[in-house]
């Protein structure tokens, strides 16, 4: 049951297509709530699903004699549908975009930029190398994983814009739990001030955030991760991002800490940063009862779908555009 402290967020995903003969509407993004899945199983399915969608598009383009350039598209109408089982690979040729929501048993994952010295003591927790961007991180029960199975080329959505929209969705979702979250310049992910849900208020009354913070709401483009910089002192990380794109399709995604055992993070340098403080929604919101993790997963999925389609739940941010992603791009977490 949902925690009585905070009612489950409800973020509708209603979009209105443009009336342009040169555009075509995409179907609403489908959400899959998949429970607890071993990381290696999820990784195998992500790879297979992405490869099947790539093959289907290649075959369609060859059959129609068209170039791979995508026509202009607009979001579909209606709300994201919710499914609770895995897609069949036979559906890949006609499938739209999906967000896979799940938790994992304890596992450390190594991104493409991982360095051995950042794994301090794995103990009995498995370590799995992967092709996502970034360094080492931990996944475990109570953390919501959202894997973004998107056709970026069809959406004309570049990696920079995708990251910005993911961050917007995370900030909006955390806001539904009374948590003020923010970006850190050059340090991918989403951060909070532990035990505090707003900027520091010094004696002179001028609000101050930690150095390098990009505070919400933000108008216009953000400078996303121009360089990998250590987060400011005194902040804690609550969500991580690690993406992979391949021939116009994305997979992997993000992790949002809901209510989890944070001690395994002490066995690593999270995201390559020594002594980086980690936190979760339950601690930051000071909830008195357990967090409803299914409600959190659904709220996150809806926020992500809305943001990816250029619709923001609180109207605080506007869609951005940039160039489509390049093949094989990986983003740090």
Rounded to 5°, the CA angle 105-189-113 comes to 75
Tell which residue, 120, 127, 128, has the closest CA to residue 275: 120
Given the residues 149, 170, 171, 271, the one annotated as active site: 271
Q: What's phi and psi for 241, nearest 5 deg?
A: -125, 135
Give the burial string for 292-309 (b: 16+ CB within 10 Å, else e): bbebbbbbbbbbbbbbbb
The answer to whether the CB of 136 falls within 8 A of the CB of 114 is yes
Which tokens go with 320?
């951005």
E strands within the chain?
A: 24-25, 30-36, 73-74, 82-83, 98-103, 107-110, 127-129, 136-139, 143-151, 182-184, 187-192, 213-214, 236-246, 249-257, 330-331
Query: Tell me, what DSSP letter sits at residue 278?
Result: B
Question: 191: which residues sit within 8 A by CB, 6+ positions away?
Answer: 181, 182, 183, 184, 213, 231, 235, 236, 237, 238
**Does a cis peptide bond (omega within 30 degrees of 0) precede residue 112?**
no
Determine whether 271 is an active site residue. yes
Rg (CA), the chain: 19
**Contact in structure between 229 and 186 (CB atoms under 8 Å):** yes
Going by their DSSP bridges, the two strands 73-74 and 24-25 should be labelled as parallel
Mind telling me the catalytic residues?
A: 271
């Amino acid at each position: 049951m949902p925690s009585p402290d905070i009612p489950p967020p409800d973020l509708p995903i209603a979009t209105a297509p443009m009336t342009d003969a040169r555009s075509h509407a995409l179907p609403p993004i489908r959400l899959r709530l998949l429970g607890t899945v071993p990381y290696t199983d999820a990784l195998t399915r992500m790879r297979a699903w992405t490869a099947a969608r790539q093959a289907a598009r290649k075959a369609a383009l060859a059959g129609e004699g068209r170039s791979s350039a995508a026509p202009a598209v607009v979001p579909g109408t209606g709300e994201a549908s919710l499914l609770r089982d895995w897609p069949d690979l036979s559906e890949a040729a006609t499938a739209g975009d999906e967000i896979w929501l799940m938790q994992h048993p304890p596992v450390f994952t190594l991104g493409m930029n991982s360095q051995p010295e950042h794994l301090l003591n794995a103990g009995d927790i498995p370590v799995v190398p992967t092709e996502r961007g970034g360094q080492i991180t931990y996944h475990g029960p109570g953390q919501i994983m959202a894997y973004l199975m998107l056709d970026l080329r069809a959406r004309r959505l570049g990696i920079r814009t995708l990251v910005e929209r993911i961050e917007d969705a995370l900030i909006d979702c955390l806001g539904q739990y009374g948590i003020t979250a923010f970006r850190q310049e050059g340090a991918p992910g989403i951060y909070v001030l532990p035990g505090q849900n707003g900027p520091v208020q010094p004696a002179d009354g001028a609000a101050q955030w930690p150095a390098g913070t990009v505070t919400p709401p933000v108008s216009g483009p953000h400078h996303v991760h121009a360089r990998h910089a250590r987060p400011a002192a005194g902040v804690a990380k609550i969500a991580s991002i690690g993406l992979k794109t391949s021939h116009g399709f994305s997979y992997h995604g993000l992790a949002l800490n809901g209510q989890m055992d944070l001690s395994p993070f002490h066995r690593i340098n999270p995201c390559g940063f020594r002594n980086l403080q980690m936190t979760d929604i339950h601690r930051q919101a000071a909830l008195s009862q357990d967090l409803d993790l299914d409600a959190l997963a659904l709220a996150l999925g809806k926020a992500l779908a809305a943001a990816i389609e250029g619709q923001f739940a609180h109207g605080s941010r506007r869609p951005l555009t940039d160039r489509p992603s390049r093949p094989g791009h990986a983003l740090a977490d």
